[in-house]
Structure 1
Amino acid sequence: MGKQTQLPATKRRVSPAGRWELEDAKARFSEVVRQAREDGPQRVSVRGHDSVVIMSVEEFERLTPAVPRVPFVQFMEDLHLGGLDLEREADHDRDVEF
């Protein structure tokens, strides 16, 4: 029986499920990005726990629809501040000695 050798980090293969250990993802970042664009999101784990997901910008934009910005006046009107007493008391000048 022959002695098994472990491949260096730069020669390790990604699992079929698109999971990477951090050191492998760092060493082969271009491959992670390529697979994220072609095959879908890629999970990167740190110390055995999933930590981040790398995905294409198209997938990211599909998952996070753009929220239209509300004009400032409409934003203020939507606060419904009509019931608040926002009147200021008259501000009289102060006496200042020179």
Structure 2
Amino acid sequence: MEAWQMHGAKARFAELVKRAQTQPQDITLHGKSVAVVMSRETFDRLSQAQESLVDFMRRSPLLGADDITLERDPSVTNDVPL
């Protein structure tokens, strides 16, 4: 990922956007990353709704298995002093 200082990104905004079409561009301010410019296609792919945990569990090959034994480590406690 290419890094741009804020003032350079402002001065060359059209070039920044053009480069973001092929690879995300990092914007820095005082040496710290503050923003990333990316293509709309990349943004849409990364932000689309993911399946829920319930849907994931329903696809599990263990769904309906009655012979699963889960063991708890007895040495670990959650005792909280009152």
How does the TM-score come out when normalised to structure 1? 0.48
Q: Give unmatched runs, 5+ long, in structure 2.
A: 51-82
Larger Rg: 1
Q: Give unmatched runs, 5+ long, in structure 1.
A: 1-16, 68-98
Counterpart selection for 1:43 from 14, 26, 32 = 26
How does the TM-score come out when normalised to structure 2? 0.57
Cα distance in structure 1, aligned partners of 2:21 and 2:37: 9
- Identity fraction in percent: 40
Counterpart in the other structure of 1:74: none
**Number of aligned positions between the proteins:** 50
Cα distance in structure 2, aligned partners of 1:19 and 1:60: 18
Counterpart selection for 1:60 from 36, 39, 43 = 43
More relative contact order, 1 or 2 (CA 8 Å, 6+ apart): 2
Q: How large is the RMSD of aligned CA atoms in angstroms?
A: 1.3
